[in-house]
């Protein structure tokens, strides 16, 4: 086809992945090109015998139509050079399995690529394998399980294999003995529901966030004897003490090393800074993201926004914090910044509360969010628009709130109101290791 009379526009193609870099010169292309046609040009310039699909970003958003449409929407002239950054496309996440539960799922955590931990509102923690078999039903809580976290690194594995937190105000550490799951101890001291739990990268300590407005810091080590005597007398009211006679009476008590006070109202989420063992981040109903030094118990930084924070996650690759909010947004924060009120980026696309966020384990740019709108969105944070929106595959799950999310290697796990543990395969060939590091 003769394209000599087609309207054209000069573009500059930029890639951060060295193996896909092309000469840094402007070229004229038809304005009617979309990403498929642009991919063809890049593949031609690279001399690829086997075409590689690419996505293209311009001014902070993915190009999802023609170049002409973009220019008209932004009122831009076709005479100016348009810079397009391109990255290797990530295939859409595909649901590969669904495990059913009788009650709402509050939290999910992958221990490995073939072992998944699920916390449920029926008070039971379930461990599943990749063959859709429930390996164990862990019963120690007498109220809803609100959070679970699995020990992920076998090289640093302690006797504790996972920790669950509950509305019964306890966090139970679980291990395996004689092939059977066993409660090793119950961490006690909170006076209200435990909403979040996180384990440090060395698997030596963990933290819990509670609706009692505090965060507590604990050793992972299994105590030789119950530490009831170390609990603060003020934390054990008469009604609480009466209840404990009936809860986990045969499980040793674990006392906290320290308590972090500062939040006003419930603390909904907590995570460790993987780059600094003694630093954690937390979020809560008081609209604050707080940075803590757990060794000293000092709140070293407080960042503010105008909405409740429902979940938090930190990326060691981007060194950014992601938070999910009640205003249907995801916010990105730079904890290295001295400005306490500036959000680095706000990502808006969900139609309901953003209940959970999870960074990709091997990328500085890929992020997932789960929402009460029943969808999962996958983001490349170089763009303000989602890369993919993942809808429920089953009628049972459609329109049901999602509450928990975890990204482990090539698997994306989610669960919520429907009681289904949804497992998705995330096939990405993208690697940060192949990026240029120079400006």
Quick one: DSSP state of residue 112? E
Q: What's the confidence (pLDDT) of residue 410?
A: 92
252's enclosing H/E stretch is none
Distances from the Cα of 379 to the Cα of 55, 90, 353, 357, angstroms: 13, 11, 17, 11
CA 169-171-174 angle, to 5 degrees, is 150
Q: How far apart are CA 183 and CA 378, in angstroms?
A: 36
The pLDDT value given to residue 155: 59
pLDDT in tens, the chain (439 residues): 445 568 999 999 999 888 899 999 999 999 999 999 999 999 999 999 999 999 999 988 899 899 999 999 999 999 999 999 999 888 889 999 999 999 999 999 999 999 999 999 999 999 999 999 999 999 999 999 999 999 987 556 678 999 999 999 999 999 998 888 999 999 999 999 999 999 999 999 999 999 999 999 999 999 999 888 776 544 444 334 334 444 566 899 999 999 999 999 999 999 999 999 899 999 999 999 999 999 999 999 999 998 999 999 999 999 999 999 999 999 999 998 877 666 889 999 999 999 999 999 988 999 999 999 999 999 999 889 999 999 998 999 999 999 999 999 999 999 999 999 999 999 755 445 444 433 3
Candidates 180, 185, 108; CA nearest to 150 is 108
Instruction: Please tell me the pTM assigned to this model.
Output: 0.88
CB atoms within 10 A of CB 124: 20
Cβ–Cβ contacts within 10 Å for residue 176, how many?
Answer: 14
Q: If residue 37 lies in a helix (H) or strand (E), which one and from where to where?
A: helix 35-46
Tell me the β-bridge partners of 209.
Answer: 196, 215
> Which residues, at least 6 apart from 280, have a Cβ–Cβ distance to it below 8 Å?
198, 207, 215, 270, 271, 272, 273, 291, 292, 294
Q: Rounded to whole angstroms, how far apart are CA atoms 148 and 287?
A: 24
| CA-to-CA dists, residue 270 to 54, 280, 284, 348, 365, angstroms | 36, 7, 9, 22, 21
Q: Which two tokens stand for residue 378?
A: 């996958």
Q: Return the pLDDT at 341.
A: 62
CB 290 within 8 A of CB 267: no
Beta strand 420-425 with 94-100 is antiparallel
* pLDDT score recorded for residue 18: 86
CA atoms of 293 and 237, how far apart (whole Å) = 29
Assess contact for 370 and 402: CB atoms under 8 A.
Answer: yes
Nearest to 41 by CA among 54, 24, 60, 57: 54
- The residue among 293, 268, 272 whose CA lies nearest residue 283 is 268
Query: What is the length of the chain?
Result: 439
Q: Are 385 and 62 in contact (CB under 8 A)?
A: yes
Task: Give the model confidence (pLDDT) of 155-199 as tens digits.
Answer: 566 789 999 999 999 999 999 988 889 999 999 999 999 999 999
- Condensed to tens digits (0 to 9), the pLDDT of residues 320-362 reads 999 999 999 999 999 988 776 668 899 999 999 999 999 999 8
Residues 263/214, Cβ–Cβ less than 8 Å: yes
């Amino acid at each position: 086809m003769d394209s000599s009379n087609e309207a054209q526009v000069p573009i500059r193609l930029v890639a951060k992945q060295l193996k896909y870099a092309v000469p840094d010169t402007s070229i004229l292309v038809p304005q009617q090109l979309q990403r498929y046609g642009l991919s063809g040009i890049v593949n031609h310039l690279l001399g690829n015998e086997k075409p590689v699909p690419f996505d293209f970003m311009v001014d902070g958003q993915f190009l999802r139509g023609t170049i002409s449409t973009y220019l008209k929407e932004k009122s831009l002239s076709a005479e100016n050079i348009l810079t397009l950054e391109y990255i290797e496309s990530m295939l859409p996440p595909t649901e590969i399995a669904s495990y059913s539960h009788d009650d709402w799922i509050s939290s999910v955590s992958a221990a490995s690529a073939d072992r998944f931990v699920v916390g449920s509102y029926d008070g039971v923690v379930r461990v599943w394998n990749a063959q859709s078999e429930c390996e164990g039903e862990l019963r120690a809580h007498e109220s809803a399980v609100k959070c679970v976290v699995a020990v992920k690194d076998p090289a640093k594995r302690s006797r504790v294999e996972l920790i669950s937190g509950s509305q019964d105000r306890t966090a139970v550490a679980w291990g395996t003995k004689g092939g059977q799951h066993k409660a090793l101890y119950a961490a006690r001291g909170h006076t209200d529901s435990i909403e979040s739990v996180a384990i440090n990268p060395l698997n030596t300590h963990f933290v819990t966030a509670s609706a009692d407005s505090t965060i507590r810091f604990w050793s992972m080590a299994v105590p030789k004897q119950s530490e009831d005597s170390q609990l603060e007398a003020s934390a054990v009211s008469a009604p609480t003490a009466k209840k404990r006679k009936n809860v986990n009476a045969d499980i040793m008590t674990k006392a906290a090393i320290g308590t972090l006070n500062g939040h006003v109202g419930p603390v909904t989420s907590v995570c460790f800074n993987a780059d600094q063992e003694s630093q954690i981040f937390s979020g809560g109903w008081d609209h604050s993201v707080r940075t803590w030094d757990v060794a000293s118990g000092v709140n070293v930084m407080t960042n503010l926004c105008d909405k409740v924070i429902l979940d938090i996650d930190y990326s060691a690759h981007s060194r950014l914090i992601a938070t999910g909010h009640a205003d249907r947004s995801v916010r990105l924060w730079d904890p290295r910044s001295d400005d306490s009120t500036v959000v680095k980026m706000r990502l808006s696309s969900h139609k309901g509360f953003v209940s959970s966020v999870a960074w990709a384990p091997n990328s500085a740019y890929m992020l997932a969010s789960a929402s009460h709108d029943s969808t999962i969105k996958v983001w490349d944070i170089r763009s303000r628009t989602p890369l993919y929106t993942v809808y429920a595959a089953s009628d049972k799950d459609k329109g049901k709130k999602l509450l928990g999310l975890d990204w482990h290697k090539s698997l994306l796990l989610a669960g919520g109101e429907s009681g289904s543990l949804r497992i998705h395969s995330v096939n990405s060939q993208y690697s940060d290791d192949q990026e240029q590091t120079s400006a």
